[in-house]
Chains A and B, each alone.
Chain A
């Protein structure tokens, strides 16, 4: 295997034509609409408009080294990995993970046991300071991290060790980003996201349950190609993929605006493809690329298939009130009836006390009516 991307592509008998096409795909996936050098220089973007982003990719691929990717899994379901491997070649994902990178992946490696651990250790030493660390799954902190161990060592430990030598850290999936399902109340394992533990290095979050494969791959590609992380929002998510809400790009938006809502899963409205807001769709508060990139290479996404958005790329979505509770509803313990009645009783009692004291004030000194 060559260390240079282009040589690697040669080895795989990828033609120049296909190479150009794949570069375009990469560029689109990374959301490259401007030229980093021009942007960085502060010159107006129009200057670079005629410039093909494609060329930038090609140039980078021709000159950059292949980057190693170390993929660790902790408290996870491996869903994010599954999603990525469902992609069929030739594809972006395939390109990124098989062509551009070398990886250590626990689930996907054919080998197992001490050999794989040894391979990982060697990769980390050889490419220290240069490898991309991809993390899947949350990290338990309860019981000193004993809830999740690999090869006798806690996930916490393994993460810190791997993060120490990483050039970039990408947390893929809601679990790695925000704690995911394990973090749902009452969070028995003390699960945390990567960025809550690794605070001295930039961590990119690619949340989703699972994460959209193109999002993970595109972000890895960006780092591999440019040696830098893409622009991130305040939750460290790449703005390319997480800059708009599902609601903003939803194909059923027109029905929302017109007030045409499906009221149950098989009523007339549902059959006509009406908005799923009243069935608990969390689209308005969920930032993700589902409505545009979709799943299974643009096949579909939950809303298109008739199920409301779960909000799976947002922190704490498992505690977000329930999948079928309205997005606007408050997040309070239910049922609230007892609490409300108690509050009313307390208020009434206080009111009675005040009323009696006031009534006494009226009667004291002065004629009786």
Chain B
């Protein structure tokens, strides 16, 4: 199998196409949803809508991941909390603070930024992978999750998991030659990029709308977010 050739293709023309599909697809999703119309809210405000929005974002990013006893939900389902939190943390650290990816950003954007040492990134990557497995088990075992999950959810899980695990194998040169792992990593990344606009993985974009709405609704009523 000509892994060199596959690698060149996967990180060249295929990546290019996947990236454009990703950008175009996300814009399509954004406009097609927001374009459905937005009613005007004539209800007088008791607290502060803007304040609510700010607090909602702060809580969503800074506090929620770190204070598990918020809203008393941790004790009832610690797995989702720990799993979800670790997964996102690992993902962000690897994608935004890991040296190999920062070089990718640098090549695409024209600028880079400082990175974390490999051992830290590596541990968080491993934690992220472990978290993904935990989340899969939870999705298969929890009665509510079993009810609401369908093929789309499991497929999305797989497409997110593959880049993580191939990336980890790459870093550690595990079991296969480097260019094979690199090819698999790029192929799985390309598949993921294409799949994001077609699936719920695009939630990260709608997150901002939902959080803003949440902040507005609670801020409007003067209730702590």
Asked whether any CB of A lies within 8 Å of a CB of B in the complex, the reply is yes
Query: With A259-B118, A336-B19 given, is the CB distance from A369 to B27 under 8 Å?
Result: no
The contact of A359 among B11, B37, B106, by CB within 8 Å, is B37
Q: Which A residues are CB-close (under 8 A) to B4?
A: 235, 314-315
Contact code string B117-143 (vs A, CB < 8 Å = 1, else 0): 111110000000000000000000000
On chain A, the residues within 8 Å of B12 by CB distance are 330-332
A261, A329, A359, A362: the one contacting B107 at CB < 8 Å is A329
In the assembled complex, which residues on chain A have CB atoms less than 8 Å from the CB atom of B118?
A: 256-259
| A interface residues (Cβ-Cβ under 8 A, vs B) | 234-235, 245, 248, 256-261, 277-278, 284-285, 314-316, 321, 325-336, 339-340, 343-348, 350-352, 354-356, 358-359, 362, 369
- Choose among B31, B101, B110, B119 the residue with the greatest number of A CB atoms under 10 Å from its CB: B31
Apart from A331-B12, A343-B20, A355-B33: 11 A-B pairs, beta carbons within 8 A: A259-B99, A260-B117, A316-B8, A329-B103, A330-B104, A336-B108, A344-B27, A348-B31, A351-B30, A355-B36, A359-B36
Within the complex, the shortest CB–CB distance from A202 to chain B, in Å, comes to: 17
Q: How far is the CA of A61 from the CA of B106 in the complex (A)?
A: 55
A270 to B2 CA separation, bound complex (whole angstroms): 36
With contacts A258-B117, A259-B117, A346-B24 known, is A328 near B103, CB below 8 A? yes
CB atoms of B27 and A347 under 8 A apart: yes
List residues of chain A with CB within 8 A of the CB of B102. 326
Taking each of B2, B29, B118, which has the highest tally of chain A beta carbons within 10 Å of its own beta carbon?
A: B118
- Contacts known (A234-B3, A258-B118, A285-B179); A329 close to B106, Cβ less than 8 A: yes
Cβ of A291 to closest chain B Cβ, rounded Å: 15
- Asked whether, in the complex, the Cβ of A362 is within 8 Å of the Cβ of B36, the reply is yes
How far apart sit A344 and B19, CA to CA, in the bound complex (Å)?
A: 11
- Residue of A235, A329, A335 with most partner-chain B CB within 10 A: A329
A358 with B11: CB separation less than 8 A: no
Tell me whether A277 and B11 are in contact in the complex, defined as CB-CB below 8 angstroms, given that A258-B118, A343-B20, A358-B36 are known contacts. Answer: no
Question: Interface 1/0s, chain B 83-98, versus A by CB < 8 A?
Answer: 0000000000000000
Chain A nearest Cβ from B115, distance in angstroms: 6
**Considering only CB atoms, which chain A residue lies closest to B107 in the complex?**
A329
* Interfacial chain A residues near B103, Cβ < 8 Å: 277-278, 325-329
Residue of B nearest to A258 (CB): B117
Give bound CA distance, A356 to B36, whole Å.
7
Q: Is B206 an interface residue (CB 8 A)?
A: no
CB distance from A248 to the nearest CB of B (A): 7
Residues of B within 8 A of A (CB): 1-4, 7-8, 11-13, 15-16, 19-21, 23-37, 39, 99-104, 106-108, 110, 112, 115-121, 173, 178-179, 182, 186
A-B contact pairs, 22 of them (CB 8 A): A234-B2, A259-B118, A326-B102, A327-B103, A328-B101, A330-B19, A330-B108, A331-B11, A331-B12, A332-B13, A336-B16, A340-B23, A343-B21, A343-B27, A347-B23, A347-B24, A347-B26, A350-B32, A351-B27, A352-B31, A358-B32, A362-B36
Total number of residue pairs linking A and B with CB closer than 8 Å = 142
- Find the residue from B1, B20, B101, B119 having the highest chain A CB count within 10 A: B20
The contact of B116 among A259, A278, A352, A359, by CB within 8 Å, is: A259
Query: Could you say which residues of chain B place their CB within 8 Å of the CB of A235?
Result: 4
Most chain A CB neighbours (cut-off 10 Å) among B21, B28, B121, B179: B28
Cβ-defined partner of A347 (8 Å) among B25, B101, B116, B182: B25
Is B16's CB under 8 angstroms from A284's CB? no
Which B residues are CB-close (under 8 A) to A354?
A: 28, 32, 35
Q: Which residues of A contact B13 (CB under 8 A)?
A: 332
Known: A285-B178, A331-B12, A355-B36. A344 touches B107 (CB 8 A): no
Q: Taking CB as reference atom, which chain B residue is nearest A233?
A: B177
Closest to B1 in A: A234
Contact between chains at B36 and A347 (CB < 8 Å): no
| Min C-beta distance of B166 to chain A, whole Å | 13
Residues of chain A lying within 8 A (CB to CB) of residue B28: 347-348, 350-351, 354
Complex: how many Å from CA A307 to CA B24? 39
Question: Would you give the shortest CB distance from B103 to chain A, in whole angstroms?
Answer: 3
Q: What 6 A-B pairs have minimum CB-CB distances, sorted nearest first?
A: A326-B103, A355-B35, A351-B31, A259-B117, A347-B27, A347-B24
* Cβ-defined contact, A332 with B99, below 8 A: no
Contact B32 A285 (CB under 8 A): no
In the bound complex, residues from chain A placing their C-beta under 8 Å from that of B8 are: 316, 331
Determine which of B2, B16, B37 lies in contact with A333 in the assembled complex, contact meaning CB atoms within 8 Å. B16
Known interface pairs A248-B173, A359-B36; A340-B178 also in contact (CB < 8 Å): no
A186 to B21, CA, bound (A): 27
A residues near B107, Cβ cutoff 8 Å: 321, 325-326, 329-330, 334
| Across-interface contacts of A356 in B (CB, < 8 A) | 35
A256 nearest in chain B by CB position: B118
Q: Once bound together, how far apart are the Cα atoms of A331 and B26, in whole Å? A: 23
Residue of B nearest to A349 (CB): B31
Residues of A within 8 A of B117 (CB): 257-260
A residues less than 8 Å from B186 (CB atoms): 330
Provide the residues of chain A in CB contact with B39, threshold 8 Å: 369
Bound together, the chains give a CA A343 to CA B26 distance in angstroms of 10
What is the chain B residue whose CB lies nearest that of A316? B8
| In the complex, chain A residues whose CB is within 8 Å of the CB of B7 | 285
- Docked Cα-Cα span, A364 to B32, in Å, equals 18
Residues in chain A near residue B32, CB distance under 8 A: 350-352, 354-355, 358
